Amino acid sequence: MDLRPAARPEPPRPPRRTMRALRDRRDELTSRIALGNQTAVERQHRLGKRTARERLELLLDEGSFVEVDMYRKGTTGASTDGVVAGSGTVDGRRVFVYAQDFTISGGSLGAAHAAKIHKVMDMAMDTGAPIIALNDSGGARIQEGVMALDGYGGIFRRQVAASGIIPQISVVLGPCAGGAAYSPALADFTFMVRETAQMYLTGPDVVQAVSGERVTHDQLGGADVHGGRSGVASFVHDDEETCLADVRYLLSLLPGNNLESPPSCECGPGDDLRPSLADIVPVEPNRPYDIRAVIAELVDDGEFLEVHEGWAGNVVCALARINGEVVGIVGNQPLVLAGVLDTSASQKAARFVRFCDAFNIPLVTLVDVPGFLPGTEQEYGGAIRHGAKLLYAYCEASVPRIQVILRKAYGGAYIVMDSRSIGCDLSLAWPTNEIAVMGAEAAVNVVHRKELAAATDPAELRAVLIAQYADDLMHPYYAAERGLVDDVIDPAQTRSAVSRGLAMLRDKRRRTPARKHGNVPL
């Protein structure tokens, strides 16, 4: 009998480490991360939303995306920690991007999540490339407390540092609540998708608890609210496909950074005549027309990208090309409030002018303005302060600036709409132009008040005085005779005149005094 202890079985040996095994493990892990939690993905699709990676596929050139920090984990315990970040190309041009992943903890932002965003923002600044944010997040990760708030602060600080240096585009494709909403507000352009995107500082529950007002998420901060009432959203779309397609189109009109010129393209000659312009704009100063029809005649192929289309419709701001070169166009819209300037229109145009100036985009201003909107609501709402923003923006702008006066240009509104007195380089006017302190009828009522009161036939005298005032002070060549208008042109020649003016001013350089910064009348 063998009394020796039985031999212990040898423990199983770990599989042999080979490069092939390691690569297979890496590929399996990468695929699993990219695939995501299928239950959460299906829930995202049921909400009418794409996943973060599906959105990046729509936005970027095929196969161009290079991801960073794919394996990074935070308190969620999931790889990526709820945000997909990296770089790719749009039409072959470099951009940096991050897309929040709602399938992982609702896309909530914690320290690791924020650190990834900080990293790509720093890369964008260092390389001089646009940064694009695809927002779809429930907000700060409550479990991380102040660290989540610190993460947001790092994003905001970088956005301010990047302002005017690289283009910043924010796309809201889901919830964007609380402090997170400041990120789209700091961006140069903000896109929103109807029904799925909401943005607000305090949600419906808080609003009801504080004020008793019952409101839905969409009523409080939906795309149409911010596109038409608050002015936070620059563009509003019905679906993600058209939204991201317009982001690509916008990028095609922007330089990579403030040291570059906007991308130009080959197109037809810029000196062609546009005789239909004389038919679009009525000679009668009070008859409305659509300034968009004028813009379509001036720009290449009639194509332009209107910014804030649904907000402050009495002024139109658009990016387009003239003879292949990108321009920013600001025009009064006679179809809305007769084209007057008010608080919202002044803010809208001022921000657009400042953006164009920051990124070397020449400005073309189409003027047909009867003045500022009168009334206590406007005065109490800061009409002076907001109008001063537009005045400041134009005075500060050093890019080529061309003014075209189509019809009315009255009072302070004439000055503010890039007049020669505040530094426009080239002022052109149609034969229909009327530049004056105010309209002839209003001027006569003020200047000849006593004569009219004493007249036996005030109506007849008023008509005579109005005609005399218009002939003496408002005829088409009055401003040109005094050097405030450079040329009175045939409307049909407007496109060619603007094109020649832009070519003449292309190498414009202006030195500004050394200072920390000006004090914009915010």
Confidence (pTM) = 0.92
Is 228 part of the annotated catalytic residue set? Answer: no
Q: Quick check: is 179 catalytic?
A: yes
Model confidence at 285: pLDDT above 90:
no
Q: Are strands 401-410 and 363-369 parallel, antiparallel or unpaired?
A: parallel
269: which 2 tokens? Answer: 């000659």
**Contact between 107 and 78 (Cβ < 8 Å):** no
Which neighbouring-strand residues pair with 98?
85, 133
Give the separation between CA 265 and CA 348, rounded to whole angstroms.
Answer: 28
Q: Residues 128, 154, 164, 179: which is the catalytic one?
A: 179
**Is residue 302 annotated as part of the catalytic site, yes or no?**
no
Of residues 66 and 209, the one with the higher pLDDT is 66
- What domains can be seen in the chain, in order of their start residue? 40-252 (3.90.226.10), 277-439+474-505 (3.90.226.10)
Distance, in Å, from the CA atom of 364 to the CA atom of 500, rounded to the nearest integer, reads 13
Please determine, for residue 391, whether its predicted confidence score (pLDDT) is greater than 70.
Answer: yes
Structure tokens at 142: 């409550």
Question: Which residue has tokens 């009175």?
Answer: 488
Q: Which residue has the higher pLDDT, 23 or 513?
A: 23
Amino acid 449: pLDDT: 81
pLDDT of residue 457: 79
User: Nearest-5° angle of CA 168, CA 171, CA 176?
Assistant: 110
Question: What secondary structure, in 3-state letters, does 168-194 show?
Answer: EEEEEEEEEEHHHHHHHHHCCEEEEEC
Per-residue pLDDT tens digits for 11-62: 777 777 889 988 989 999 999 999 999 999 999 999 999 999 999 999 999 9
Q: Which residues are CB-contacts of 398 (< 8 A; sequence separation ≥ 6)? A: 357, 508, 509, 510, 512
- What is the arithmetic mean of pLDDT over 63-69? 96
Which of 412, 442, 455, 503 is flagged as catalytic? 412
| 92 a catalytic residue | no
Q: Which tens digit of pLDDT belongs to each residue from 138-193? A: 899 999 999 999 999 999 999 999 999 999 999 999 999 988 999 999 999 999 99
Question: Residue 439 and residue 127: Cα distance in Å, rounded?
Answer: 53
Distance of CA 242 to the CA centre of its chain: 16
- Distance CA(325)–CA(260), nearest Å, equals 13
When mean pLDDT is compared across 17-26, 266-275, 379-388, 475-484, the lowest value belongs to: 266-275
Q: Are strands 198-200 and 168-177 parallel, antiparallel or unpaired?
A: parallel
Q: Is residue 111 predicted with pLDDT exceeding 80?
A: yes
Residue in 107, 174, 178, 371 annotated catalytic: 178
Count the residues in the chain: 522
Give the pLDDT band (50/70/90) at residue 1. Answer: low
Contact 498, 402 (CB under 8 A): yes
Reading the block at residue 400, the tokens are 């080529």
User: Stretch 418-432: mean pLDDT, rounded?
Assistant: 96
Q: Which of 124, 162, 388, 413 is catalytic?
A: 413
